[in-house]
Amino acid sequence: MKTHPVFADSYEELFYKALRIRLFEERIIDLYPSDKIQSPVHLSIGQEAVAVGVCQALKPSDLLFCTYRSHAYYLAKGGNMPAMMAELYGKVTGCGRGKAGSMHLAAPEVGLMGCSAVVASTIPHAVGAALAAKIQKQDRVIVAVFGDGATDEGVYHESLNFAALHQLPVIFVCENNGWAAYSKVSARQAYSIVKHAGVYGIPTMHIPEGYDFVKVYETFADIVTQAQRTRSPYFVEVQMFRYMEHVGVGDDYRQGIRSRDELEAWQARDPLMIRKDLVAKYTPAVQSEIDAAVRYAEASPWPGRDELLKDVV
């Protein structure tokens, strides 16, 4: 990995990118009681390392399809921060002109093709893009990101089968945080996600250390190289932990849904919690970038009536 000149080394570059996402989402938490953010929010605090590691291994021309929990991917893939904040405010300068909200972010100029509130619905879009890449002989790879809950859906299985059958250059990334809303993996699934994906003849990888952006980046960079060479699918399952509640800016520990012990065990390994020296070093620059994004969102106009049917087909 070539280190950006403003960072001491590649570790600090990845750390900065993860910190930028965490502080952005913590700002959402601060702003939320004001009702200025009009959209429901699914925060990825605790899961940033996976988005950072995956996106670091991709080029802008590689395409990404994600879920409603994708603030981290939008920022890690290079999406414009003020346009994202304006989108959360519902303003016309937002990346979806105020119509998309937090759950439907897109930044096609940097390869983030779309996110959706409908679980598993962007997986076939990624497979379709991979089919187009194959037919048009493009050298890009396509990445589909989804949660463990998406593997409960029929379209997930149809997508894996189609990608394997037609040997398409798509990398499936399953973010396994152990929960689909308030339902545990162990209460829903009789299968191991990664072993089951292998049944389609797709090579698989399991990464238990979803808190470790270096491990995710290095592993994923090898997978991208392999997918580019073979022009065939690959499947990665990453173990991770969502710190906040499923949707909203609170947590779900008091309700007894998840245990604080589990949270604390992940936090004890989380570089953003441990490396207080680097947090102190990079926080001022990140906070001023976020301040500017908030000012932009607040100063931006609302969409007019003329926007209602624009871009709607």
CB of 5 to ligand TPP, least distance (A): 35
**With binding defined as CB under 6 A, does residue 40 bind ligand TPP?**
no
Burial 94-130 (b: 16+ CB within 10 A, else e): bbbbbbbbbbbbbbeebbbbbbbeebbbbbbbbbbbb
**With binding defined as CB under 6 A, does residue 181 bind ligand TPP?**
yes
**With binding defined as CB under 6 A, does residue 180 bind ligand TPP?**
yes
CA dihedral 131, 136, 138, 144 (to 10 degrees): -20
**With binding defined as CB under 6 A, does residue 285 bind ligand TPP?**
no
Report yes or no: 172 and 197 within 8 Å, Cβ to Cβ. Answer: yes
**In angstroms, how far is the first alpha carbon of the chain from the final one?**
41
How many residues in the shown chain lie near ligand TPP by CB under 6 A?
A: 14
What single letter denotes the amino acid at residue 25?
Answer: E
CB of 147 to ligand TPP, least distance (A): 2
CB of 9 to ligand TPP, least distance (A): 31
Task: Tell me, residue by residue from 115 to 134, as one string, x for binding to ligand TPP by CB under 6 A and - for no binding.
Answer: --xxx---------------
Residue 212 CA to residue 52 CA, distance in Å, equals 10
Of 153-172, binders to ligand TPP (CB under 6 A) are none
CB of 237 to ligand TPP, least distance (A): 12
Backbone angles phi, psi at 113, to 5 degrees: -85, -25
Task: Determine the residue with CB nearest ligand TPP.
Answer: 147
Chain residues in the site for ligand TPP (CB under 6 A): 69, 117-119, 146-150, 177, 179-181, 246
